[in-house]
Structure 1
């Protein structure tokens, strides 16, 4: 394609530059190809699929690759996602180039009144253009940065709490004097507390304890609203559902208050409560896991639907009274994440894909809060704070800390940030497990033992096939690695140099290899610590099962779809088993597929049809599970659940009590009567203040 104009910008195709009256900006090859594709049909919508086919033919790319290129083009043309004067986003469809596009021969170049000055300026522009190219080449060829990084504009870090309890979800009062936060006294039992930052005193907001979500202040500072339910041992029929409750701050200053219920949950589950006015709250309703954003008017009890999308489900929300906008974090089944900016007065919404930094591409839990004075959102992940602009671009502020940072929020003056900092401590727990199927099915467990404990999370424990050895994931060496206990001697098996999350892994049938997935890649790990990345035509989400010597059952994103596939590690070929979302899956003994769907309901897929696995219909919240010795095994309702797939009989057992809460099943070996679980020991979290004075 020859050179052309986009509005007042000349596109120099041969040199991959966009030239304006005062500068020349170089474009990356993929960004230029996106622009050329849009310019082929100006004004018309070019779909995501077309852009992927033309710009990345036969290449597996990150879900936000197109959005990242569009963001760079908008910056080049002085456009943004809010104005969209050059490039328009058509949510869930594609993009269109609406600025005027002309060939260069259709324009008459402007003549300068001083040719000498023109030649001199051209030489100057050529020189600086050359320098610019060298600088760009330097930055492009050096090791890439995971995101735009900057130094945090705060020099001091002051602890606000230092108790033996765990503090979460801090939030400033509208005048900035008070801080509300959750203080946990058990794994799923907490209290709401207030800290007076002026007097440096604390008092309990709620009378008694429960399982309270993050608390939000009403605009006048007189009330606090939050989600709530009873603790872990609640006997209510729907003990997992959360209602919306509130307390009076004015009354609580004299005496802790019993929360009053604003909206009973029934079978719904209400989370992410935010005040819109002193008489109206917004929240996410996760009934049947459909996740809708709704509002509740307190005076009338009227409910209203604010946002719903069958493809993108709300995950969190935050409200800006200055902009009258809700920022709703949403994601779809193939891990695309975006922010929906919803104007609560006009009802107009804008869909903004998040350009998540590559080092955090596997991080899904983005829970932002608005800056009180600027059009940016504040989030945290691992040991970094981020600001997200309204185009979805991230600026990272790495922290010099050994602890992760959570739930950051700006002070109302915009000059301070409060956050929680700390870590979780999970241990590897073991039991002897015995199963008898001579008369029905009976399961028993005894002789509890903590096998491995550190000050960080040790989890995903698995038995090495055919031995008494085991492996697990831990960050005890500073970053997430696989550790291996061989004949009682523990050593670090993997040697990842970069910060990663090990999503899942499985042992080979001969116990000589581990298949794992991290950052979308499938990798093999040997017993001497050698790592081999396998080439796949898709992004790998999870390793579900090592089925036989050569085949792995994987969860992948292929051709913009979630799929479960059988992947042959020798041939590099794959066989699609199921197209659709799955939390977890295992091949059944009859070669059908058992999987948990979007709603965490166990389904069986055979003959191209999915049906609810009726034998577990009444068991709540099935997540991870495994098939061992023709038995379906999982952890649910604080019990070990076992279903004999041949005899079609069910049994469950409550484990002997320990000082820790068991939160999940890791592995089971019925032949050698061994059971591995993850035990929650504690979480160490304190509130800290980033500031300059």
Structure 2
């Protein structure tokens, strides 16, 4: 079968899993291209669904949805949809056919090569970097070649020696580049390891590669159990005997002890600092039946996360006693810990461990505010430290996730929903990836031949909720709420994320953020169909937005920076020296913004002067959400979801709201706070009279409140949150 062919004006290159048009190329899953190729081979007839399934997925049980997903991927790459079918045509209840010309001639290769010169040049350059580190580069010259006359030697020496010197320089550069730049990874065949209605996260191989360990969450709930799946038979085993708030499971090198972090019940109100426990269970016994774990370490005054076994007696983990995280080593034998790595005036965000190379890779943010990769020896001493050199216009993220690639000197970086290769010197390279869906959680098989990823879609909708009319008697009102849930009305729906809807002042329109185009953008919805208003680069995440009082401009927090979005769609990025992680209030008249920023990795609530670009600190209490009332009162929620009102000398705790906090945010209208507690009760609190009123029960699917106007709330709903564990083979 030909590896390349023309489909109308599109060039299909099966060797690269790409479809190209002019200079634009898109990478598709191999199975989708197999579907396209079989249709192209049978141009002129309708190919049935069963024939396609048998041809592309032989001896495999798959659903028709799998084929439909491949067709949808192909149509997207070919610029079509179900309504415009100029290339792939659907024949109801029969199958599909190709409706354009197919060219299998050799000339297709020549024309494609001409159009693909730049890509080939880049590949050749990248291949230089694929020479393994410290590999000998030798050149053999036959006896016959060097057997020349003295005159020929003189004649040829002027040409031969420069060529030899150039060759040696190229070889030296190749060796240097292989050690100091990111290697291009190629990921190929895709396998789905889980396919449930639940949400699976945190997948990792066991040290011997025989099992895949992962967390299985319950529908839209933060509780989970830890599971194992046999990588060969795909048989599943529940390891923990009861659900809990678990994270960061890791198996000891001998495969006997499974450790993980357990936090307080995430469904209950927070009444004290979160308690963390390092748990351990017998993995071999858990494969027979779920086990009750024992507590290895109980932390009440510090936070711990990400335990990784270094050997069968020692565990590395991150610990925070004040505001800063550090890397520690814990001895299971002596029940004691020692410091491995911390930064004065900086922040440790994440780390990875290579048992093969006995090295740590630590993601830090230092005084310069930039992400660094610090390579440490097993004892915590520093081997190297370099800033991470992201490509131009890359989105800014707070915490990076990376893993060592076995049998190489490189790492893989999971960044902005995509994969990149990363060198120890901070160089970021490309990964040849078979699809463009957002993915996360890369974890390699011990032999480096496969990698686990988490794939799925987080689907949000925006909705309206009209506040109920209260009965005069509060007892009668509460009785009338029993068994009833206040209705929400979704007003804009897609299969992607719609969120943070905001009423436009003085208009009937609503602004919202949406990822329906493949990138996060601002959309307007009202008496007209929804239309796009921004053009943020792919990978930028929109955290919040605020209208000016006239409803003419939007202050948008995207990519941890502030942007002014003008009526004509133009935007202006506000130059500010620190990352902005939340924005709560915008006084357009004084050009003052209340926001959370990061200073040396630490979160601070501040007022930013947009005129001078200076900021004034308000507090360091780890504010989760804040809003300002019409009378100027600043209300904020801390890490324990307690409500506070800012005062002139000290902040005042709002005691009637001690049991009403949650992660669902709050809004203020006419000096009345509206929020949702952990029991899914919608409540109001009058700041003038200190009166608390339960308004009704709401759906647990409400993620958070985003705005209020004239007794009507805007909320973000969780429509679905499905995550699956997938496995890809590493081609190189």
What TM-score bracket applies, with the shorter chain setting the length? 0.5 to 0.7
Checking the alignment, whether the CA contact within 8 Å between 2:307 and 2:316 is kept in structure 1 is: yes
Partners of 2:692 and 2:349 lie apart in 1 by: 35
The correspondence of residues 163-202 of structure 1 with structure 2, limited to 5 A, is: 163-186=196-219, 187-202=221-236
Which residue of 2 is the match for residue 566 of structure 1?
Answer: 609
Secondary structure in structure 2 of the residue aligned to 1:154: strand
- Which of the residues 707, 715, 718 maps onto 1:680? 718
Checking the alignment, whether the CA contact within 8 Å between 2:405 and 2:411 is kept in structure 1 is: yes
Matched, 1:369 2:403: yes
- Which of the residues 157, 160, 167 maps onto 2:193? 160
Secondary structure in structure 2 of the residue aligned to 1:447: coil
- Which of the residues 266, 285, 297 maps onto 2:319? 285
- Which of the residues 515, 519, 525 maps onto 2:565? 525
Partners of 2:407 and 2:707 lie apart in 1 by: 50
Which residue of 2 is the match for residue 379 of structure 1?
Answer: 413
Checking the alignment, whether the CA contact within 8 Å between 1:639 and 1:652 is kept in structure 2 is: no
Partners of 2:291 and 2:557 lie apart in 1 by: 48
Which residue of 2 is the match for residue 317 of structure 1?
Answer: 351
Q: Which runs of 5+ in 2 are unaligned?
A: 1-154, 168-180
Partners of 1:240 and 1:556 lie apart in 2 by: 22
Given the superposition, is the C-alpha separation of residues 288 and 460 from structure 1 closer, same or farther in structure 2, using an over 3 Å criterion?
Answer: farther
TM superposition shift of 1:242: 3.4
Given the superposition, is the C-alpha separation of residues 340 and 683 from structure 1 closer, same or farther in structure 2, using an over 3 Å criterion?
Answer: same
Partners of 1:346 and 1:536 lie apart in 2 by: 37
Secondary structure in structure 2 of the residue aligned to 1:257: coil
Partners of 1:327 and 1:650 lie apart in 2 by: 53
Which residue of 2 is the match for residue 6 of structure 1?
Answer: none
Checking the alignment, whether the CA contact within 8 Å between 1:523 and 1:531 is kept in structure 2 is: no
Given the superposition, is the C-alpha separation of residues 359 and 369 from structure 1 closer, same or farther in structure 2, using an over 3 Å criterion?
Answer: same
Secondary structure in structure 1 of the residue aligned to 2:617: strand
Which residue of 2 is the match for residue 41 of structure 1?
Answer: none
TM superposition shift of 1:411: 0.9
TM superposition shift of 1:256: 1.8
Partners of 1:200 and 1:160 lie apart in 2 by: 8
Checking the alignment, whether the CA contact within 8 Å between 1:168 and 1:182 is kept in structure 2 is: yes
Secondary structure in structure 2 of the residue aligned to 1:264: strand
Which residue of 1 is the match for residue 46 of structure 2?
Answer: none
The correspondence of residues 29-178 of structure 1 with structure 2, limited to 5 A, is: 152-178=185-211
Checking the alignment, whether the CA contact within 8 Å between 2:681 and 2:698 is kept in structure 1 is: no
Partners of 2:592 and 2:654 lie apart in 1 by: 27
Which residue of 1 is the match for residue 729 of structure 2?
Answer: 691
Checking the alignment, whether the CA contact within 8 Å between 1:457 and 1:475 is kept in structure 2 is: yes
Matched, 1:427 2:461: yes
Given the superposition, is the C-alpha separation of residues 556 and 303 from structure 1 closer, same or farther in structure 2, using an over 3 Å criterion?
Answer: closer
- Which of the residues 407, 411, 426 maps onto 1:392? 426
Which residue of 1 is the match for residue 336 of structure 2?
Answer: 302
Of residues 341-350 and 160-169 in structure 1, the stretch that sits farther from structure 2 once superposed is 341-350
Matched, 1:614 2:653: yes
Given the superposition, is the C-alpha separation of residues 242 and 537 from structure 1 closer, same or farther in structure 2, using an over 3 Å criterion?
Answer: closer
Checking the alignment, whether the CA contact within 8 Å between 2:459 and 2:496 is kept in structure 1 is: yes
Matched, 1:460 2:500: yes
Which residue of 2 is the match for residue 87 of structure 1?
Answer: none
Q: Which runs of 5+ in 1 are unaligned?
A: 1-115, 129-147
Given the superposition, is the C-alpha separation of residues 448 and 600 from structure 1 closer, same or farther in structure 2, using an over 3 Å criterion?
Answer: closer
Deviation string for 1:598-640 (max 9, x for gaps)? Answer: 9988777777x7x444336957677955554334555564665
Given the superposition, is the C-alpha separation of residues 257 and 478 from structure 1 closer, same or farther in structure 2, using an over 3 Å criterion?
Answer: same
Which residue of 2 is the match for residue 629 of structure 1?
Answer: 670
Partners of 2:363 and 2:641 lie apart in 1 by: 21
When normalised by structure 1's length, the TM-score is: 0.68
- Which of the residues 687, 697, 702 maps onto 1:656? 697
CA RMSD, 1 decimal: 4.4
Secondary structure in structure 2 of the residue aligned to 1:155: strand
TM superposition shift of 1:680: 2.4
Checking the alignment, whether the CA contact within 8 Å between 1:521 and 1:533 is kept in structure 2 is: no
Of residues 255-264 and 536-545 in structure 1, the stretch that sits farther from structure 2 once superposed is 536-545
Which residue of 1 is the match for residue 294 of structure 2?
Answer: 260
Matched, 1:412 2:451: no
TM superposition shift of 1:555: 4.6
Given the superposition, is the C-alpha separation of residues 346 and 149 from structure 1 closer, same or farther in structure 2, using an over 3 Å criterion?
Answer: closer
Checking the alignment, whether the CA contact within 8 Å between 1:384 and 1:398 is kept in structure 2 is: no
Q: Counting strand residues as a fraction of each chain, which structure ranks higher? A: 1
TM superposition shift of 1:245: 1.2
TM superposition shift of 1:178: 1.0
TM superposition shift of 1:336: 3.1
Partners of 1:288 and 1:345 lie apart in 2 by: 23
- Find the structure with the greater CA-based Rg: 2
Which residue of 2 is the match for residue 472 of structure 1?
Answer: 512
Partners of 2:366 and 2:619 lie apart in 1 by: 12
Checking the alignment, whether the CA contact within 8 Å between 2:457 and 2:722 is kept in structure 1 is: yes
Checking the alignment, whether the CA contact within 8 Å between 1:181 and 1:194 is kept in structure 2 is: yes
Which residue of 1 is the match for residue 370 of structure 2?
Answer: 336
Partners of 1:204 and 1:685 lie apart in 2 by: 18
Partners of 1:564 and 1:246 lie apart in 2 by: 45
TM superposition shift of 1:484: 1.7
Given the superposition, is the C-alpha separation of residues 243 and 427 from structure 1 closer, same or farther in structure 2, using an over 3 Å criterion?
Answer: farther
Checking the alignment, whether the CA contact within 8 Å between 2:514 and 2:523 is kept in structure 1 is: yes
TM superposition shift of 1:121: 11
Checking the alignment, whether the CA contact within 8 Å between 1:515 and 1:524 is kept in structure 2 is: yes
Partners of 1:179 and 1:519 lie apart in 2 by: 34
Partners of 2:438 and 2:262 lie apart in 1 by: 26
Partners of 1:657 and 1:192 lie apart in 2 by: 30
Number of residues of Structure 1 aligned to a counterpart in Structure 2: 549
Deviation string for 1:17-41 (max 9, x for gaps)? Answer: xxxxxxxxxxxxxxxxxxxxxxxxx
Given the superposition, is the C-alpha separation of residues 601 and 272 from structure 1 closer, same or farther in structure 2, using an over 3 Å criterion?
Answer: farther
Which residue of 1 is the match for residue 114 of structure 2?
Answer: none
Partners of 2:324 and 2:599 lie apart in 1 by: 25
Given the superposition, is the C-alpha separation of residues 309 and 644 from structure 1 closer, same or farther in structure 2, using an over 3 Å criterion?
Answer: farther
Partners of 2:270 and 2:632 lie apart in 1 by: 38
Which residue of 1 is the match for residue 260 of structure 2?
Answer: 226
Checking the alignment, whether the CA contact within 8 Å between 2:257 and 2:282 is kept in structure 1 is: yes
Deviation string for 1:328-356 (max 9, x for gaps)? Answer: 33336985333344434365575443333
TM superposition shift of 1:495: 3.9
Partners of 2:538 and 2:379 lie apart in 1 by: 45
TM superposition shift of 1:390: 1.7
TM superposition shift of 1:210: 1.7
Of residues 592-601 and 161-170 in structure 1, the stretch that sits farther from structure 2 once superposed is 592-601
Partners of 1:350 and 1:588 lie apart in 2 by: 50
